[in-house]
């Protein structure tokens, strides 16, 4: 089973990169399932029905979310009626939608989990105790292939998640910071990366126009972050090969640019 995971898609530049590159990536790397974090896909904040449809038609199978999932609340309430649109699973009971998607890939069940951290995030249930119970439940249901998008600010929380779940899940991919890390590893057949990094503008500040962030840094006065109309773009994708027993055998990161040659980063630990 070959899974591709795309980090935080930021606005129109991110969607444009996916529309331009994803079909070729699916074919070239024989991808069975594409998962992408889409909580910033609409103007940098939230996800609209229109943009979700665009992403799905471009070749994404499952869209995960995070702390910005509710920024376009009216649209999200509609989108969460679909099984392949997720919000963090560890929101308290009673919140609409699901944080788990179960699908069959080549007659093998795959569980995709969207999880959110604690530090500097909206109020959610403890992700560590929550995921341990959830993974045990999925295993008891016979699901060996388990992928987690852990949307968290603190790198330490992501490393703790790796230590708790190594050897128990297929992959843990961090999102949220928009800054890609180079710590790809496969430990006890579990793939891990602290943050995949954004898909969108790469020459500003976390995919947003740099004017307001710089103004805030200099004066303390904030403002509305906007996605630039024109920028240099990047698409960051993790491609993971998982065997029939749910064990990750190989993984690498693909970085595609709109103005220079693509890069491939291999896992550095096996």
Tell me which residues are annotated as active site.
68
> What is the chain's Cα-based Rg?
17
Query: Residue-wise over 214-232: b if at least 16 C-beta within 10 A, else e?
Result: eeeeeeeeeeebebbeebe
Residue listed under structure tokens 């979310």 = 65
Residue 243: CB atoms within 10 Å: 15
Residue 255: CB atoms within 10 Å: 18
Q: At what angle do helices 127-140 and 155-165 cross, to 10 degrees?
A: 30
As a whole number of angstroms, the distance between CA 227 and CA 68 comes to 15
């Amino acid at each position: 089973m070959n899974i591709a995971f795309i980090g935080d898609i930021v606005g129109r530049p991110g969607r444009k990169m996916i529309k331009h590159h994803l079909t070729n990536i699916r074919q070239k790397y024989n991808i069975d399932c594409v998962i992408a974090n889409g909580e910033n896909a609409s103007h940098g904040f939230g996800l609209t029905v229109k943009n979700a449809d665009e992403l799905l038609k471009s070749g994404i199978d499952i869209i995960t979310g995070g702390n910005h999932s509710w920024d376009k609340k009216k649209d999200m309430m509609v989108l969460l009626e679909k099984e392949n649109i997720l919000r963090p699973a560890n929101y308290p009971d009673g919140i609409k939608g699901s944080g788990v998607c179960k699908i069959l890939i080549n007659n093998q069940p795959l569980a995709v989990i969207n999880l959110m951290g604690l530090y500097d995030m909206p109020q959610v249930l403890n992700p560590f105790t929550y995921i341990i119970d959830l993974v045990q439940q999925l295993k008891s249901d016979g699901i060996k292939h388990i992928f987690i998008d852990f949307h968290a600010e603190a790198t330490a929380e992501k490393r703790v998640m790796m230590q708790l779940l190594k050897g128990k899940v297929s992959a843990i991919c961090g999102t949220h910071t928009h800054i890609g890390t180079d710590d790809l590893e496969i430990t006890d057949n579990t793939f891990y990366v602290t943050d995949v990094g954004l898909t969108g503008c790469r020459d500003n500040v976390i995919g947003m126009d740099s004017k307001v962030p710089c103004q805030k840094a200099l004066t303390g006065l904030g403002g509305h972050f906007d996605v630039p109309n024109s920028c240099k773009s990047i698409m960051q994708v993790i491609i993971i090969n998982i065997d029939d027993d749910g064990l990750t055998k190989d993984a690498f990161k693909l970085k595609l640019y709109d103005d220079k040659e693509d890069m491939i980063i291999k896992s550095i630990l096996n």
